[in-house]
Amino acid sequence: MDSQPSSIVPPGAPGYTDIHSGDWIDRFVPAAARPYLRLARLDRPIGTWLLLFPCWWSIALAGGLPPDLWLMALFGLGAVVMRGAGCTVNDILDRKFDAMVERTRSRPIPSGQVSVRQALAFLLFQLLVGLAILLQLNLASVALGALSLVLVFTYPLMKRITWWPQAFLGLTFNWGALLGWTAVRGDLGWPALALYVTGIAWTLGYDTIYAHQDKEDDARIGVKSTALRLGAASRAWVGGFYALTAAGLAVTGWLTGLGAWFYAGLALAALQLAWQTADWKPDDQADCLRKFKSNRLFGWILLGAVLAGHL
């Protein structure tokens, strides 16, 4: 990666971006709908997986074997919709910043493909779909799900006021750890609370890696992140966040009464986190994205560990 700060260039100019032309959206979706699918990040599903896994882990913890597949499907659809809504809120609030950052300047709003008014209408549509999904759950879950909107709408502002916006992302993205348990059992339990806190540590790790993609642009335009706050010490901090993740998951398994197979799976998941930390190249944007995306594998390993722990 060029060591010099990126200059402000017009939208659509060549440069590092996480939007790739010629993908399934360009091939199969009508042109008028493409910007909205990109606004909801349907072309980049990793964020949906990271939002969904705490939900699935919690459902599996609370319900045992077999897991409630209907609930898991509902949460899967809800994760797609609410991740899209969160990205829409983020892009509306950050449209001026996004226009100045190499990776994000080609997004639908800063590039002019979608107006703010159109984005607001799309946001309302997504929230209504999310509400319809939420109303399929028990009353306690409906109340808890509605409360999450406070985090969804305030998280995008945190990069303006704190060096730790990744912590607020953790509060938001791991809400499903509470919601999944409540959807199964109708109340909150200590394993769900332990999983929620643990998920925040996990998010601090993977989103610090992700933030290193934009650190030069962020420093230039005045946006805060853990990548800038931690600087050259980021690898050690990410290792610490991931160590807390592994320890917190062990505590969660103990609180739930999971068997030995859970800890065997957890050991494998911890190795995946250790590999991320050791092999990560903080100054390589493409490698930052690869390591960030590899957390999907971590999520699947841990889900398998939770299910195996009920045997």
List, for residues 1-33, the tens digit of each pLDDT value.
333 333 333 333 445 676 767 788 888 889 999
Contact in structure between 47 and 41 (CB atoms under 8 Å): yes
Residue, of 19 and 262, whose pLDDT is higher: 262
Residue, of 25 and 174, whose pLDDT is higher: 174
Residue 22 three-state SS = coil
Contact in structure between 288 and 295 (CB atoms under 8 Å): no
- Does 2 fall in a domain? no
- Does 169 fall in a domain? yes
- Does 267 fall in a domain? yes
Residues contacting residue 298 through CB under 8 Å, at least 6 positions apart: 269, 272, 273
CA distance readout (Å), 134 to 36, 74, 84, 192, 211 = 22, 8, 15, 19, 31
Question: What is the domain extent for residue 137?
Answer: 29-309
- Does 24 fall in a domain? no
Domain count, the chain: 1
E strand or H helix at 52: helix 46-63
Q: Which of 31-35, 48-52, 237-241, 277-281 has the lowest mean pLDDT?
A: 31-35
- Does 109 fall in a domain? yes
Residue, of 240 and 311, whose pLDDT is higher: 240
Q: Which of 24-28, 265-269, 272-276 has the lowest mean pLDDT?
A: 24-28
Q: What's the CA gap between 289 and 271, in Å, rounded?
A: 19
Please state the rounded mean pLDDT for residues 189-209. 98
49-74 burial, b if ≥16 CB within 10 A, otherwise e? bbbbbbbbbbbbbbbbeebbeebbeb
- pLDDT score at 130: 96
- Does 14 fall in a domain? no
Question: What is the tens place of the pLDDT at every residue in 59-108?
Answer: 999 998 999 999 999 999 999 999 999 999 999 998 888 888 888 888 89
- pLDDT score at 101: 82
Assign residue 258 the CATH number of its domain: 1.10.357.140
- For residue 216 the two structure tokens come to 């030069």
Percent of the chain at pLDDT > 70 equals 94
Instruction: Answer whether 0.85 is exceeded by the pTM.
Output: yes
- Does 7 fall in a domain? no
Residue 240, pLDDT > 80, answer yes
Please state the rounded mean pLDDT for residues 272-277. 98
Question: What is the tens place of the pLDDT at every residue in 201-230?
Answer: 999 999 999 999 989 988 988 889 999 999
Task: Tell me the pLDDT of the chain averaged across its residues.
Answer: 91
- Does 3 fall in a domain? no
* 126 pLDDT tier (thresholds 50, 70, 90): very high
- pLDDT score at 180: 97
